[in-house]
A = this chain, B = another copy of it.
């Protein structure tokens, strides 16, 4: 089985797939009489289609252990999807390019627990992968009419490994 390893995350490499939700990425504004800093506009929340609203949820995920067999990716044609860890524990994101409706060129990133991710609409990604302990994430995505979920089972599953 082909292996998939982690690569360093940076805004340039992630830009085609979405936003890195981190204080470092935002416009910095002092607020609250100097008691707080607002790091503003960290993600482009996109809600397309009819009767949309911004949907707030919390995902509670069981931890994974490497290596992980990667069999399926999904995408949301009508809206972005943001995940931000609530527990400061490491997690991982896998995205892929699209080739005529099939995910291709998978990329894996390991994230610290202080960094969130916002997937653009229609970007292939793996479901939530966290490590160490049961972990919670706040999510911001789309509620609305229409089918907003597409799943693709890989012709050849890959194995996500720590390093080669």
Contact = CB atoms under 8 A, between A and B. Distances in A.
Contacts of A53: 45
Given A86-B84, A86-B88, A140-B140, A36 B56 contact: no
A25 to B, nearest CB: 9
Please give the count of copies of this chain that the complex contains: 2
**Which 3 interchain pairs have the tightest Cβ spacing?**
A45-B54, A36-B61, A32-B127
A154 interface: no
Contacts of A37: 59-61
A97 interface: no
A15 interface: no
Contacts of A22: 58
